[in-house]
Amino acid sequence: MDKEKYVRKAILADALELAPKMKKEDRAEIIASNNASPLRALVEPFTYDEAKIYSIIGTKDEGVIGMFGSCPTQLPEYGVVWLLSSDELYKHTRQFLKECPYWVSQMSQGYEYIYNFVDQRNWKTLKWLQFLGFEPKEKIEQYGHGKLPFLLMMKELNKQKNV
């Protein structure tokens, strides 16, 4: 693992650092979905007791380049997963893709299904989610604040059944 880059449990200050440099695709998606500012979108997961929130740290100069995690829903078997980042994350694509399966398994613990609604325009995110085993389940033509097309992306987790 690159000594200058790692993933760790997020702290609230990470949201303050990442919000002003959030990439434009993520800004557009959070505005379209619930008209949230970057800071609000990054802080909101901290309001859930059972949330798992992580930060991606780039080089010393880059600092926090992404945050991701999972939040509980009203249905205990479902978790909402998310990732918001800066453009600097693209400089670390190989390591990011290599580590993603591990971190998806970490933030998925305790859920049977993980999902999120993704702006159809955000093709890089859709491609990445499919790489991780998420499937498009439903297209909503007029989703959220922006009334734009979004896709419900979901992954069913392999559950070991006790027989």
Rounded Cα gap, residues 43 and 156, in angstroms: 27
pLDDT classification of 23: cutoffs 50, 70, 90: very high
Q: What is the pLDDT of residues 24-54, one digit of tens each?
A: 999 999 999 999 999 999 999 999 999 999 9
Quick one: pLDDT at residue 146?
Answer: 93
User: What pLDDT, on a 0 to 100 scale, did the predictor assign at position 26?
Assistant: 95
User: Residue 1: is its pLDDT beyond 50?
Assistant: no
Pairwise CA distance, residues 49 & 91, whole Å? 33
Q: Which two tokens mark 138?
A: 């439903």
* C-alpha pair distances (Å), 154 with each of 19, 40, 47, 81, 82: 26, 24, 23, 9, 12
- Domains parsed from the chain with CATH numbers: 6-156 (3.40.630.30)
Q: What is the pLDDT of residues 68-99, one digit of tens each?
A: 999 999 999 999 999 999 999 999 989 998 99
Q: Indicate whether 140 pLDDT > 80.
A: yes
Residue whose tokens read 């000594």: 3
Residue 159: is its pLDDT beyond 80? no
The encoded tokens of residue 97 equal 């893709």
Q: What is the pTM of this model?
A: 0.90
